[in-house]
A and B are shown apart, each in its own frame.
Chain A
Amino acid sequence: MARTLTFDQEIANLFYAMDSNPVQACIQCGICSGTCPAVAFMQHSPRAVIAMIRAGQKTAVLASNTYWACASCYACSVKCPQGIDVAAMMYGLKRYALWRNHFRRVPPAADFSRRFVGLITRYGRSYEPALAAPYLWRRGLRGLLDEVRMAAGLLRRGRLPLLPRRIRRVDRLRRVIGQILPAGGLT
């Protein structure tokens, strides 16, 4: 008979390839939270998230902003005395949430990542203005003026790309990607 995985088993499976011990090895020492430079902006600290995963609190974990506030700096991963790659776990939670579309409002980081991958599959290269532009209005008029002023400064110094660059063999790159992502992923 098929066995249903618990949430902590599912999460452990998400980063098995990353040379990490599973979250079950956590001793709740809190070093991950202590080293995290973004912890003040997280609803739950990394340590708390691991405890919640082990307690099976799937809905609360996925609803928290913790994994989206992770900048992937790996300070937690190299300091964990139990060999848990906490940053890889945050990546795992991002993928899990994206696959399940597990949010009512799409967080900016999820939207950012999707658009980033869309750019690569179209051009083969990244293009900063297309990534930053949709967020210009998020911080109000003052924020918009800040961005415009900075963009103008960069433009004057030749630092603002005006057009995305396309690699020469982009069609073949798309075929490579097609072998990895299911057809629906190539949009």
Chain B
Amino acid sequence: MRTYGYYPGCSLERMAASYHRSAVETARALGVELRELEDWNCCGATAYFHIDELLATTLSARNLALAEQQGLDVVTPCSGCYKNMYFTREHLRQDPDLAEHVNTALGEDGLEFRGTVRVRHLLEVLVQDVGLAEIRRRVTRPLRGLRVAPYYGCQILRPRKPGAGEEAPHFFEDLLAAIGAAPVDFPLRDRCCGGSLIVTHRPAALSMVYALLQDAADHDAEVVATACPLCQVNLECYQRQVNRTFGTSFCLPVLYFTQLVGLALGIPPQRLGVGTELISPAAVLAKAAV
């Protein structure tokens, strides 16, 4: 059993509860225990950086310090949280003065950042630590050629991270193939979903979501797989508004990769939060006999 310090992020408490449930269930079925960090705080998404860079760094450093207390590498299913924690660790390790300043503040909570644990995205843990061979071995209900668009989004890949293969990534496709799905060619797979522009600049975000849905549809995707709660909400919950704005009729389910992997491992759909979507995947999943 591998054990990680689990940082779910705020979205997974409610909006993306199905991501949380499927992450925990699927990880457990693959011999991975996700032990939630005690009393973690919000990573600040993009908003902290608009106000104060040092504050953004300090708040992510608190979560890293909590993981260090438990001596566990941090894993998060949210791409935004991942990017924030990943670069906080990088910056603090490169800049002792910054680390000293941040640690003075963390002292108020009896914590210290030392840079001893790594930051991982859950997708990376499944592909790299568990490994595709192991996943393939444990699949009991392969997805029988279900046509899935692998949506990487931005922050798993960018800014550059060692091993992420930013220019031509294929680890998401590899994972989908390992569970018997058919990853479709999806040229816009690493293009941004608009993120928080969905609140602050709706027309821009809708046009970005539209481009992604059109691209997935053009390549005959039956479902989009995401690795980020904000991508899921933007692509699924705003599909109706996209349809009205652009005169389209998309009806494309958007699932978390953890749900698809869990289904292939034979975990019952309700334990993976399947059934809480606004756009039901029931028809396409039935076709794939899951």
Total A residues in contact with B, Cβ cutoff 8 Å: 65
The answer for the CA separation of A77 and B192 in the assembled complex, in Å, is 13
Which residues of A sit under 8 angstroms from B276, Cβ to Cβ?
157-159
**Which residues B1-22 have CB closer than 8 A to chain A?**
10-11, 13-17
A120 in contact with B59 given A109-B200, A181-B52 (CB within 8 Å):
yes
- The reply to whether the CB of A63 lies closer than 8 angstroms to some CB of chain B is no
**Which residues A9-45 have CB closer than 8 A to chain B?**
17, 37-38, 40-41
The answer for the CA separation of A42 and B113 in the assembled complex, in Å, is 39
How far does the Cβ of A12 sit from chain B's closest Cβ, in whole Å? 15
- The reply to whether the CB of B166 lies closer than 8 angstroms to some CB of chain A is yes
Among A120, A176, A179, A180, chain B packs the most CB atoms within 10 A around the CB of A176
- The reply to whether the CB of A177 lies closer than 8 angstroms to some CB of chain B is yes
B69-80 CB contact bits vs A (8 Å, 1 = yes)? 000000000000
How far does the Cβ of A123 sit from chain B's closest Cβ, in whole Å? 8
How far does the Cβ of B143 sit from chain A's closest Cβ, in whole Å? 23
- The reply to whether the CB of A82 lies closer than 8 angstroms to some CB of chain B is no
B38-67 CB contact bits vs A (8 Å, 1 = yes)? 011110111111111111001100100000
- The reply to whether the CB of A71 lies closer than 8 angstroms to some CB of chain B is yes
Residue of A37, A116, A124 near B191 (CB, 8 A) is: A37
Q: Are B50 and A165 neighbours in the complex by a CB distance under 8 Å?
A: no
Q: Are B155 and A74 neighbours in the complex by a CB distance under 8 Å?
A: yes
How far does the Cβ of B206 sit from chain A's closest Cβ, in whole Å? 10
Q: Are B158 and A41 neighbours in the complex by a CB distance under 8 Å?
A: no
The number of chain B residues touching the other chain, given as a range, is: 35 or more
Which residues of B sit under 8 angstroms from A38, Cβ to Cβ?
192, 194, 197, 201, 204, 208
Which residues of A sit under 8 angstroms from B197, Cβ to Cβ?
38, 69, 71
B189-208 CB contact bits vs A (8 Å, 1 = yes)? 00110111101111111011
- The reply to whether the CB of A103 lies closer than 8 angstroms to some CB of chain B is no
The answer for the CA separation of A107 and B201 in the assembled complex, in Å, is 10
- The reply to whether the CB of A51 lies closer than 8 angstroms to some CB of chain B is no
Q: Are B52 and A180 neighbours in the complex by a CB distance under 8 Å?
A: yes
The answer for the CA separation of A161 and B271 in the assembled complex, in Å, is 20
Q: Are A177 and B39 neighbours in the complex by a CB distance under 8 Å?
A: no
Which residues of A sit under 8 angstroms from B191, Cβ to Cβ?
37, 73, 75
A176 in contact with B192 given A150-B278, A161-B15 (CB within 8 Å):
no
Q: Are A139 and B202 neighbours in the complex by a CB distance under 8 Å?
A: yes
Q: List residues of B whose CB falls within 8 A of some A CB.
A: 10-11, 13-17, 39-42, 44-55, 58-59, 62, 91, 95, 98, 104-106, 108-110, 154-155, 158-160, 166, 191-192, 194-197, 199-205, 207-208, 211, 237-238, 240-241, 275-278
In addition to A37-B194, A117-B51, 6 A-B residue pairs with Cβ atoms within 8 Å of each other are A94-B50, A113-B47, A132-B199, A154-B15, A160-B15, A173-B62
